[in-house]
Structure 1
């Protein structure tokens, strides 16, 4: 399986992530770079990508913190770094099942510095 790296930047920092080769990651890569406005939901950052894809067969709602996921219902990247309002215990529970693209290379808790409305940029690393 081939991998690609993306860089996600916001005013207070940046992280790189390694993505697996999936139909969703390929569709995302074809649209990069993208800029969006960040939203936060508990310990998750999400933002619109303008990419429309179908839910993949291995989509999951509960993922590890630091997972790069794609929320098909919102055409958005969903980046959990801890519990969300739907979580039970310390798990990262997304709003609904999401396509799993990969994971962050560094500490995903850096995402805690993202504020609602922050400009976010995603590009190939």
Structure 2
């Protein structure tokens, strides 16, 4: 089963398709979430009320547009390009993160998110 979430901020929005994982179930149970966007290189991340353990398929280097959960910071991480610790053009997260799904749109839509923007995540209902 997959679900769709909507992520919105003052200058735009996107949707993401989320796979069923222990972390995504906890996240969906906490929606809607309103948080404050932070940027780290070409990554947007923000705090959530969810805590999760690292899953067996957690990864540190991911594709642009991956929806990841940073277990060390209880945060959603949305990389769209290189971060300060990337090698070349890769999306390298701060540490291994649980993989939840991927953005439905061009990940570059996240370039309009500013550090400190309010950000909202909600379930898309059919």
SS of 2:54's equivalent in the other structure is coil
1:69-88 paired onto structure 2 within 5 Å: 69-88=68-87
Q: Provide the TM-score with structure 1 as the length reference.
A: 0.99
Alpha-carbon distance between aligned partners in 1 of 2:66 and 2:42, rounded to the nearest angstrom: 12
1:19-30 paired onto structure 2 within 5 Å: 19-30=18-29
- 2:98 aligned residue: 99
- 1:59 aligned residue: 58
Q: How many residues align?
A: 124
- 1:48 aligned residue: 47
Alpha-carbon distance between aligned partners in 1 of 2:91 and 2:115, rounded to the nearest angstrom: 19
Flag structure 2 segments of 5+ consecutive residues without an equivalent: none
Alpha-carbon distance between aligned partners in 2 of 1:86 and 1:5, rounded to the nearest angstrom: 30
Alpha-carbon distance between aligned partners in 2 of 1:47 and 1:104, rounded to the nearest angstrom: 16
Alpha-carbon distance between aligned partners in 2 of 1:46 and 1:63, rounded to the nearest angstrom: 15
Q: Provide the TM-score with structure 2 as the length reference.
A: 0.98
Alpha-carbon distance between aligned partners in 1 of 2:73 and 2:34, rounded to the nearest angstrom: 16
Q: Deviations over 1:45-86 (max 9, x none)?
A: 000001001000000000000000000000000000000001
